[in-house]
Chains A and B, each alone.
Chain A
Amino acid sequence: MLEIKNLTAGVDGKTILKGIDLRVGPGEVHAIMGPNGSGKSTLAQILVGRTEYTVTAGGVTFEGGDLLALKPEERARAGVFLAFQYPVEIPGVNSAYFLKAALNEVRKTRGLEPLDAMEFLTLVKEKMRLLDLDESFLNRPVNEGFSGGEKKRNEILQMAVLEPKLAILDETDSGLDIDALKIVAQGVNTLRRADSAQVVITHYQRLLNYIVPDFVHVLVDGRIVLSGDKRLALTLEERGYDWVTQEKAEPVANPLTATNLAYAPHPVTA
């Protein structure tokens, strides 16, 4: 579904991603971990079309099409979703109205009729129950006055309503206490489908106890240096990121097929 080939990109003349290779298939959950400054968020931003970054080499295809050639809203309508690390506030814009407008854009792309207010409310209220969100959420302006946890849950609510094909979760666990984390993870898990995929970007292993990945990739200094299955995350927790940089002096060309890995990845379904 998503294929990243030799993605090299940077900002202000500084190269941050130094040749990323990654393949994500439908039904898969991939975790991307790495120390601060490794380029995790940059990768997410580039995938959704943030124009501050310049791609200097490589490319990304999504469902066979050139993803980088699309505008951000086109990527969104094609089914790419980013749960932001720091969701922005939009005062004065009613959350329900905003979400309905977004959903109807996606529906239009999929050749579906737009939902009217009543239909939309029924749909969204159902989703809100799953995320333990109070209905009053809908009347508030987008993210305005939301606590950190509420903002993250709002991101997952939007994900639940928009039903993307590829969901990228950018450090969704940051700033959450354990209870909020469980709720968010639960929400994410209920959205797993055979035809959609999730890329979970995180610092800590803890989230991955609840959102169990099929693949774990370690990003260090702009490159994926190591890939494995969920056990890799536990090893990282134990040994830290330094272990990775010491173990692996050279970057791995194609982490999913290389044979010199300490941990063999799960068999990849083509």
Chain B
Amino acid sequence: MSASSETIDAVVQSEYQFGFVSEVPADAVPAGLNEDIIRLISGKKNEPGFMLDWRLRAYRHWQTLSPPTWPNLHYPPLDYQSIVYYSAPKSQEAGPKSLAELDPELLRTYEKLGIPLREQERLAGVAVDAVFDSVSVATTFQDKLAQMGIVFCSFSEAVQRHPDLVRKHLGTVVPYTDNYFAALNSAVFTDGSFCYIPRGVRCPMELSTYFRINAANTGQFERTLIVAEEGSGVSYLEGCTAPRRDRNQLHAAVVELLALDNAEIKYSTVQNWYPGDAQGRGGIYNFVTKRGLAKGRRSKISWTQVETGSAITWKYPGVVLQGEGSVGEFYSVALTNHYQQADTGTKMIHLGKDTRSTIVAKGISAGHGNNSYRGLVKVLPGAARARNFSQCDSLLLGRQCGAHTFPYLDVRNNTATVEHEACTTRIAEDQIFYCNQRGLSTQDAVNLIVNGYCKEVFRQLPMEFAVEAQKLLGISLEGSVG
């Protein structure tokens, strides 16, 4: 192995330091899943009868299923009875009193990501004093939105205040029968976001979970529902670049998007859940079902994601293109480093006429990471003149990582046009050396090249997110050189 490739290998070693320990009072709820636990969850949240009913049906269906074995992922089987399915929201007293109590490494990461001080406190769960209160900031935004008729609140709140809306749309895009993890989520989901944009309204700001009141640590089983009425538009940001840890290893979220005639939903995700240590121990398992239904004519749903965290990632944000002339997009950067594994991709289902879909998936594999793209483009018989363009690229850094592609093309209408391109590359030592000879360090060279590789996807992100995502990628690939 030449010295240059040793350098590349050294560069992608990194320590994901997250020493944040927060002692939360022990839960009174025992581990395990049964109907009593579900009733308990629903009861604690004071849900109306239809919700409990839905949860129970989902649970009973889940019991008839077994976890999928087809993904290109290897992990010991999960014991679903050893998980605690309900945990009380963290109380403020339990958190650190100030940032000074946090692991300096974590603070350094916040600094590197350019996260402002107040945000750092919020992320760390530091109790914020009454004078500058993040809760009141969030309230101000909510009021402004409410004036336009926009509802943006936690899912739990929506169940209380807009039960009809929830009841009408919940499970219409991802029914609990969809898959094992969707069924589980439907039974035990804790909280998430709910967003409703009325007819003709284009939401004037990017909505993000930062602005939800009571954005407690609810990452475990998140449920999100976004409904965009005719002619409306919204851009939603999920997640953050800051490293997040959770005592709960299993995460199974469901996100449903619904766009009616001429409506547009843009959903961006930056995910940096704890990926496990350098030996692959610990780390979050992220099994997510995300789907958009482009129901209306000329409706549009775009998914953009930057996935750098989690030990295991299983997600296929997809779009069902039902409305005539509807458009679906999927832009993704997925990174696997150390011992991370990802089996991720998208599904574009063309039902209506003159529908279009675009897929740009960029995988980056480093360390011993194993990255698989799995994409489905399905054109049903009625989808006349459907058009799809797919590009899935893999970038391998080092010699011990893996990149795989599993494209599925199922085309049943002969006026459809489907294009697929795939490209696998490595960063050549020659390229690194060229950068070195112009004065750039190897770390900078790798960052430059990786950013160039991801440019097309980053361009889709709202600007602040794009800048954060670039930094995040740099940090995720940081080595001792950094």
Contacts and interface: CB of A to CB of B under 8 A. Distances in A.
Contacts of B65: none
B431 interface: yes
Nearest to A104: B439
A235 interface: no
Nearest to A48: B437
A100 to B, nearest CB: 11
B431 A90 contact: yes
A76 B437 contact: yes
Given A51-B3, A93-B448, A101-B448, A76 B434 contact: no
Interface in B423-482: 428, 430-431, 433-442, 444, 448-449, 451-453, 455
A92 B436 contact: no
B449 A77 contact: no
Interface string A73-117: 101110001101001111111100111011001100100000000
A75 B428 CA distance: 21
Contacts of A73: 435-437, 439-442
B438 A49 contact: no
Contact of A98 (B2, B430, B438, B441): B438
B434 A87 contact: yes
B452 A76 contact: no
B4 interface: yes
A50 interface: yes
A102 B434 contact: no
A93 B436 contact: no
B431 A158 contact: no
A72 interface: yes
A72 B437 contact: yes
Contacts of A158: 438
A148 interface: no
A72 B448 contact: no
A158 B437 CA distance: 11
A193 interface: no
The residue in A49, A52, A73 that gathers the most chain B C-beta atoms within 10 A of its C-beta is A73
A53 B4 CA distance: 12
B335 to A, nearest CB: 16
A92 B439 contact: no
A27 interface: no
A94 B436 contact: no
Given A90-B452, A98-B448, A51 B439 contact: no
Contacts of B437: 48-49, 72-73, 75-76, 81-82, 84
B440 A102 contact: yes
A165 to B, nearest CB: 13
A94 B431 CA distance: 14
Contacts of A92: 449, 451-453, 455
Interface string B240-252: 0000000000000
A158 B435 CA distance: 12
B434 A101 contact: no
B422 to A, nearest CB: 15
Interface string B1-38: 01110000000000000000000000000000000000
Interface of A: 48-52, 71-73, 75-77, 81-82, 84, 87-94, 97-99, 101-102, 105-106, 109, 141-142, 158, 162
